[in-house]
Amino acid sequence: MAQPSGSEGKQVSYEGVHYETVGEEYFKKRSLRRYAGVGSLWALGVGAVISGHFSGWNFGIGVGGFGGLLVAAVIIGIMYVGLCYCLAEMAPALPHTGAAYSFARSAMGPWGGFVTGLAENIEYVVTPAVITFFVGAYLGGIFGTGSEFEPVWWIIAYAVFLALNLLGVELSFKVSVIVTLLALLVLVIFWVSAIPQFDFQRWALNIGVDDTGAMIELPEGGGPFLPVGIYGILAAMPFAVWLFLAIEQLPLAAEESHDPKKDMPRGILLGILTLCISATLITFLNSGIGIVREVTSVDPITNLEVTTRITGAFALGSSGEPLLDGFRAIYGGTAANLLALLAVIGLIASLHTIIYAKGRQIYSLSRAGYIPRVLSLTHGTHQVPHVALIVGAVVGFALMLVVRWWKGADAGTVIGGTLLNMAVFGATISYAFQAISFMLLRKNLPNINRPYRSPLGNLGAVVTLVIAVVTLVMQLQDPVYRTGVYGAAIWYAIGILYFALIGRHKLVYSPEEAFAVSERQKSLGHA
């Protein structure tokens, strides 16, 4: 691996940052093990996303009605297809574990790499927290535990899947394949069971609006396809992201893949095809059956608790466990709880794979010195970034406790939605930068080896960029979840301040940095 000339520990300045040369011992303490093939990569991508088909997407119905959510899902699906074609070209051309940061680093320099990597960092630290919240919601619903017990479920979920990721990449990928296949099996069982119960007009369209513009339940269904108009589509877009969010983590496995130049494009494109099919089926079938929920509120006049029965898509729009509600509507309470216990597999599939991605994402930024280097140390026996995995889990769990304390233990939908919007905020920023990186790499580094070329070209990147920006803007329009975006923005600001004052003076020539510097010098005619 090329390094700046000079002895170990020497500072070399380039592109407004300072590199410190390090010896081979530095990288030996940060080594990874190759294991993954196409099947493992497919499972890593689909498994990371699949929890979004069990919970989270349905909040879009609560702001845009079924029609708003459906159109939003189509738009977001187009964004992800464009993004995946960009990744399918960039990942084998730059096969480093840095992924989004690595692409942006080669395209836009160290500052571009850091702001992209930081956005992805927000996504990968917060997303396991969101999934853990939904795991707690499902298990609480199955076992009848109260809201005060939620943190216990969170601790158990984090502990189990952190441990599995700490025991080596072989076990991580094997578990990913198994739980992803089981999660898809559970979804197939639900789809087949829901088809005889499906009534689109009666249940999916049981939402209207009152004189104030607020959405209300229509007892007989037959409501408008877009109860709140075009605005409902735009408002639902951040939630529709949950149907696809994290497929982009696949390039993080580049340095643990046997043949990333060949297998990475196949894994990415097979993954997005699988998710498009599943997203279509779950949005229609989960919304179009006779779900029944009871919600408790306080009467503002009598100050007494009132329990209200709500049904169909109107009920689904505020559910923390939509698939469990669907199973209950089809099979009744006892059988549904048994099936829902299996449904938790979908959530743990994503929790397991996102914890994997979080560890590699923190590891890559740390190995290159963008954040403290200690975070990139790998375990001597298992060769996994154990420090990054543990620290990331602690930060995510602490964030959950803070939001719970701030919003209140009973504000489940708000807690889940707040965390979800934080994750989506980071993700959409990283998508925009990755689309820009794709176009800049084609323009400025046209001669690098590209084992796969996207048939969508720059058009796919432009579409991805536009939709990502619109989604980002719409996150700021919902006053309930806007605070989550503000929290992520503060995270972003602190990270940028750290890099400006400290990080940019402590960079290391990791593989992606060496590639970026040498190729950018060639493009400028310096080599």
CA distances from 180 to 40, 122, 221, 244, 369 (A): 10, 24, 35, 15, 34
pLDDT above 90: percentage of residues in the chain: 57
pLDDT of residue 1: 39
Instruction: Report CA torsion sign: 247, 416, 348, 154.
Output: positive
Residues 422-443: pLDDT tens digits?
Answer: 888 899 999 999 999 999 999 9
Q: What are phi and psi of 296, to 5 degrees?
A: -110, 130
Domain assignment present for residue 236? The answer is yes
The count of other CB atoms within 10 Å of the CB of residue 525 is: 6
Residues near 80 by beta carbon (within 8 Å), at least 6 away in sequence: 244, 247, 272, 275
C-alpha–C-alpha distance, residues 377 and 227, integer Å: 52
For the domain that residue 413 is a member of, what is the CATH number? 1.20.1740.10
Q: Are 413 and 321 in contact (CB under 8 A)?
A: no
**Of the candidates 362, 435, 288, which has an alpha carbon nearest to the alpha carbon of residue 98?**
362
In terms of Cβ atoms closer than 10 Å to its own Cβ (0-12, 13-18, 19+), residue 303 is exposed
pLDDT of residue 298: 65
Domain assignment present for residue 143? The answer is yes
Confidence of residue 202 (pLDDT cuts 50, 70, 90): very high
**Of the candidates 66, 79, 89, which has an alpha carbon nearest to the alpha carbon of residue 467?**
79
The rounded Cα 9 to chain-centroid distance in angstroms is 37
The rounded Cα 334 to chain-centroid distance in angstroms is 32
Q: Are 165 and 384 in contact (CB under 8 A)?
A: yes
Residues near 446 by beta carbon (within 8 Å), at least 6 away in sequence: none
pLDDT of residue 474: 86
C-alpha–C-alpha distance, residues 263 and 444, integer Å: 26
The DSSP symbol for 507 reads: B
In terms of Cβ atoms closer than 10 Å to its own Cβ (0-12, 13-18, 19+), residue 45 is buried
**Of the candidates 252, 340, 270, 275, which has an alpha carbon nearest to the alpha carbon of residue 52?**
275
For the whole model, what pTM was predicted? 0.90
Find the length of the chain.
Answer: 527
**Of the candidates 317, 316, 318, 334, which has an alpha carbon nearest to the alpha carbon of residue 326?**
316
**Of the candidates 458, 451, 370, 360, which has an alpha carbon nearest to the alpha carbon of residue 109?**
370
Strand-pairing partners, residue 310, are 293
The count of other CB atoms within 10 Å of the CB of residue 166 is: 18
C-alpha–C-alpha distance, residues 366 and 27, integer Å: 12
Residue 377 is inside which H or E element, if any? none
Confidence of residue 527 (pLDDT cuts 50, 70, 90): very low
Domain assignment present for residue 73? The answer is yes
pLDDT averaged over every residue in the chain = 88
Residues 470-513: pLDDT tens digits?
Answer: 998 888 877 766 777 888 889 999 999 999 999 999 999 888 88
Domain assignment present for residue 121? The answer is yes
pLDDT of residue 326: 92
Number of structural domains (the chain) is 1
Q: Which two tokens stand for residue 23?
A: 């010896």
CA distances from 354 to 47, 111, 165, 388, 492 (A): 8, 25, 10, 13, 20
> Residue 268 pLDDT > 60, yes or no?
yes
Range of the domain at 355: 11-523
Q: What is the mean pLDDT of residues 258-280?
A: 95
pLDDT of residue 480: 66
C-alpha–C-alpha distance, residues 31 and 3, integer Å: 18
Domain assignment present for residue 514? The answer is yes
Q: Are 309 and 172 in contact (CB under 8 A)?
A: no
Confidence of residue 96 (pLDDT cuts 50, 70, 90): confident
The count of other CB atoms within 10 Å of the CB of residue 412 is: 22
Domain assignment present for residue 2? The answer is no
Domain assignment present for residue 4? The answer is no
- DSSP conformation letters of 466-488: HHHHHHHHHHTT-TTTHHHHHHH
> Residue 362 pLDDT > 60, yes or no?
yes
pLDDT of residue 258: 86
Domain assignment present for residue 378? The answer is yes
